[in-house]
Structure 1
Amino acid sequence: MQPNVIFLASGNPHKIDELQQILRPMGIKLKSTLDYPDAEEVEEDQPDLDGNALKKARFWFTKTGLPSLADDTGLEVKALNGAPGVRSARYAGEKATYEQNVDKLLRELEGSHNRSSQFRTVIAYIDAVGNENLFEGICRGEIITERKGEKGFGYDPVFVPKGYDQTFAEISSEEKNRISHRGKAIQKFIQLLK
């Protein structure tokens, strides 16, 4: 049965808006960690994306009693043996900004001819009765040498998806939602709800 409210284990306004746009037509309202400002943060200390997503979903399901959705996303760069991967949000340090993470990535790739990479998202969803599900979405592409575009967040200004000549930060949010790693994982999740 499709829920009316789903808890999204995120305080990232970009991610909340992105997912709300996708789920709104289904009549699903998102609650998020922004609705619980006093709650402790769930430490993302698992060795892989699956583990981090499940840990967050389990924590918030227990705390709120609502069906809970959590994701973890990593940018995996071939020339860096899959880095930054599970540490993508903290690549340049624990409190790193998007800018600092992108700067470090571009420095690490200086002189590299192989710039192929992929964004990978794993979504964990725990339904109203506690059943756990995992959904994966992958978007392949490459890292360019300098930032382009004003939209998006994170590594979007330097990631060009395969088959495109613009970065995630240059294409429309509708197009990004359609082709992105998170969009693909969410589409699999939506199939579960139907």
Structure 2
Amino acid sequence: MAEVRPGGRTARVRASVLQATGDLLAEHGFAHLDLAEVARRADVGRTTVYRRWGTTTALVTDLLLDMAEQSLPRTDTGSLLDDLRANARLVQRTLSDARQSALFKAIIAAATCDEHAADALRGFYRTRVAEWAPCVELAVERGEVPAGTDPYEVIRAVSAPLYYQLLITGEVPDKAAADRAARTAHLAARAGAFV
């Protein structure tokens, strides 16, 4: 099997197809995602898209994988509150971006009725939570939070209110909401709520 060159034609095709997939999801939702339209928008052959991805769910899965890989790395400020604030503000910026919020809404909607899309979404969040969990582990080592604090639960507690605000209330979270989510998770972690 031929080795794929990073940055070569394969990488350019993938980037183009994933950009088109994200655009179409944001514009029309998962139910209207069409492989032929993705190929047309990406300016690649239909057979390339059908052969490489085959289904709309495979496209969404690859898009989420790419988004997880491209997302900004964890901040390490030396303070759990500041780390959680950085995480919350990253989530807030993503959810307040018109394209990104529409994209996440479409993917989350797809995940409610398609198990493969749900698996892809869970994989995305596992990757992102695992990226940020070490800041809680370091806080345990520094004595900021009790031993046995579940780092994954702390990180989930930061982003959950922001997604709730966007998806349930329909309000786009602002910086104040992000900071409040970080402070709340921090106070709960210090009080031992996540042990």
The answer, yes or no, to whether TM exceeds 0.5 is no
Computing the radius of gyration from Cα coordinates, the structure with the larger value is: 2
Which has the larger strand fraction? Answer: 1
Q: TM-score range by the shorter chain?
A: under 0.3
Structure of higher RCO (CA pairs closer than 8 Å, 6+ residues apart): 2
Return the TM-score normalized by structure 1. 0.26
Which has the larger helix fraction? Answer: 2
